[in-house]
């Protein structure tokens, strides 16, 4: 008589386990692959988005002066920049004073903080108001100098000449020197008797009689 081993069913069940576990392993592999693919796509996309938005965020910060709470920014929303000199530094006898203008310069994806972006000539006669001129010649963009011996402004490139009030004195420049808006302030607030000099620094189109902001 042939006897049936009681272990036969157990062997059969053992042989079936890999067939049951294979779909589970396959599902785990698919899930892992999907998660890895998502990370490979999502991470570079997120970094690219931040890289793209970085100049916009920098510009917004620069527009606010990049200041912290309680600190007066060096530039306001209207474009006025606080100069590094005060009213007392400007000679009362009308002698022009050259002052460098610093601002945050944004170039493509980079921002350079508090760097020279131009210069202005400041004048004050006695207790009168301070006036400012862009030092760029309206003819072809050279830098205008002050000739102390002749007491006038002069451009060495093409001999453009200007009186101390900015009016042209020969026919070479197409217009007078470009005057800039000036605001006297105290702690950043409008104050006619303040000592802070804020200038709305702008550059203008050259070789034209019209004063056009660029």
At residue 107, the pLDDT reads 78
Q: What is the pLDDT of residues 141-161, one digit of tens each?
A: 999 999 999 999 999 999 999
pLDDT-derived band at 12 (thresholds 50, 70, 90) equals very low
What residues have CB less than 8 Å from 174, skipping those under 6 apart? 138, 139, 207, 208, 209
Task: Give the integer Cα–Cα distance in Å for 44 and 124.
Answer: 57
- Every domain of the chain and the residues it spans: 7-66, 80-200
Strand partners, 179: 133
Task: Give the integer Cα–Cα distance in Å for 123 and 172.
Answer: 24
DSSP string, 28-45: HHHHHHHHHHHHHHHHHH
Instruction: Please indicate, yes or no, whether the overall pTM of this predicted structure exceeds 0.85.
Output: no
At residue 26, the pLDDT reads 72
Tell me the chain's radius of gyration from C-alpha atoms. 35
- The arithmetic mean of pLDDT across residues 14-32, rounded, is 62
Task: Give the integer Cα–Cα distance in Å for 143 and 146.
Answer: 10
Question: What's the CATH fold of domain 80-200?
Answer: Rieske Iron-sulfur Protein (2.102.10)
Task: Give the integer Cα–Cα distance in Å for 167 and 205.
Answer: 17
At residue 56, the pLDDT reads 52
Q: In the chain, where do the E strands start and end?
A: 80-86, 97-107, 110-123, 131-134, 145-147, 152-154, 161-162, 179-180, 182-186, 189-190, 196-200
What residues have CB less than 8 Å from 71, skipping those under 6 apart? none
């Amino acid at each position: 008589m042939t006897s049936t081993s009681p272990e036969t069913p157990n062997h059969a069940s053992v042989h079936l386990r890999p067939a049951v576990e294979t779909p589970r392993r396959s599902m785990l592999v698919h899930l892992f692959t999907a998660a890895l693919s998502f990370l490979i796509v999502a991470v570079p996309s997120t970094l690219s988005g931040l890289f793209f938005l970085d100049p916009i965020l920098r510009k917004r910060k620069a527009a606010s002066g990049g200041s912290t709470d309680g600190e007066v920014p060096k530039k306001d929303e209207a474009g006025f920049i606080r100069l590094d000199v005060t009213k007392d530094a400007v000679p009362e006898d009308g002698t022009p004073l050259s002052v460098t203008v610093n601002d945050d310069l944004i170039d493509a994806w980079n921002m350079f903080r508090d760097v020279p972006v131009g210069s202005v000539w400041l004048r004050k006669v006695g207790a009168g108001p301070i006036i400012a001129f862009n030092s760029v010649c309206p003819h072809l963009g050279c830098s205008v100098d002050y000739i102390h011996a002749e007491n006038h402004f002069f451009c060495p490139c093409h001999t453009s000449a200007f009186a101390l009030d900015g009016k042209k004195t020969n026919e070479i420049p197409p217009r007078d020197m470009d005057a800039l808006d000036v605001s006297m302030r105290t702690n950043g607030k409008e104050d006619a008797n303040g000592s802070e000099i804020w200038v709305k620094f702008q550059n203008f189109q050259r070789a034209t009689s019209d004063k056009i902001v660029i």
